[in-house]
Amino acid sequence: MSVFDDPGHFGRLWADTYDQPGGLPDPAPAVEFLAELVGDGPALELAIGTGRVALPLAARGITVAGVEASPEMVARMRAKPGGQGIPVAIGDMADVPVTGQYTLVYLVFNTLFNLVRAQRQADCFGNVARVLAPGGAFVIETFVPDPADFDRDEQVQIREVTEDSATIRLHKYDRAAQTFLRQTITFHSAGVHLHPFAMRYMWPEQIDELAGRAGLRLAERYADWDRSSFGPDSTSHISVYRLG
């Protein structure tokens, strides 16, 4: 199955290294922001992964559930303190395969863009609207695309060179579809290792249009989890959508 159509691909490939130090931002600001919104909950994290955000939220006494396509990622979460207590539906986050109503649904760290088909991104917003409680919030965190990052259809980067191995990263962009395929290739004496990854990026106003078609409206937007003002030079955004 193509990486463009396999929701569990990322987790199977990266579960063992996802939590390595230095690879991910500190979740504390996100946890603080989300805790203020959710109140007593319940909250639902789409693409819960290894519990980087969900576990500290649950440790505050908030009821948290998750959706995750990768059983490997969930197994990593289960091995952490508190990880056994969070219910997780294994499935595609675009389907939001849960029932009930949630005060907060959230999707962080650019993961919306891991849905590489435009229709699946639309499905995600529609299904979130289905499970949101009245007055509930859908929070997403994504980067703001910079056209300078994909001014060419292809890019090649040298990532690491040692006496025993070499790692290069290649990007192939489809600017009309707003997608890219990234391949990280490591050449080693033991062989060649491929690590493919794909995204479909969107600008904030495009996400607002997608939300609007699902019956959600933009209520708040910030440049970061500390609620800094969002402006033309912001490289990321935290957006809060509500029904109606």
**Tens digits of per-residue pLDDT, 135-165?**
999 999 999 999 888 777 778 888 899 999 9
Q: What is the pLDDT of residue 3?
A: 62
Instruction: Give 73-130 pLDDT, tens digit per residue.
Output: 999 999 999 999 999 999 999 999 999 899 999 999 999 999 999 999 999 999 999 9
Q: What is the pLDDT of residue 27?
A: 95
Stated pTM of the model: 0.90
Q: Label residue 189 by pLDDT band (50, 70, 90).
A: confident
Helices 204-213 and 118-131 pack at an angle, to 10 degrees, of 50
Q: What is the pLDDT of residue 115?
A: 96
Q: What is the pLDDT of residue 72?
A: 93
47 versus 20: the higher-pLDDT residue is 47
Q: CB-based contacts of 223: which residues, under 8 Å, 6+ apart?
A: 229, 230, 231, 234, 235, 236, 237, 238
pLDDT, mean of residues 186-210: 93
* Strand intervals (E) in the chain: 43-46, 64-68, 88-90, 102-107, 132-143, 154-161, 165-174, 179-188, 191-200, 216-222, 236-243
Structure tokens at 202: 């969107």
Q: What is the pLDDT of residue 148?
A: 85
> Average pLDDT over the chain, rounded to whole?
91
Q: What is the pLDDT of residue 12?
A: 57
Q: Distance between CA 242 and CA 54 in Å, rounded? A: 21
In degrees and rounded to multiples of 5, residue 197 shows phi and psi of -155, 145
Q: Distance between CA 240 and CA 147 in Å, rounded? A: 25
Q: Label residue 41 by pLDDT band (50, 70, 90).
A: confident
Q: What is the pLDDT of residue 242?
A: 97
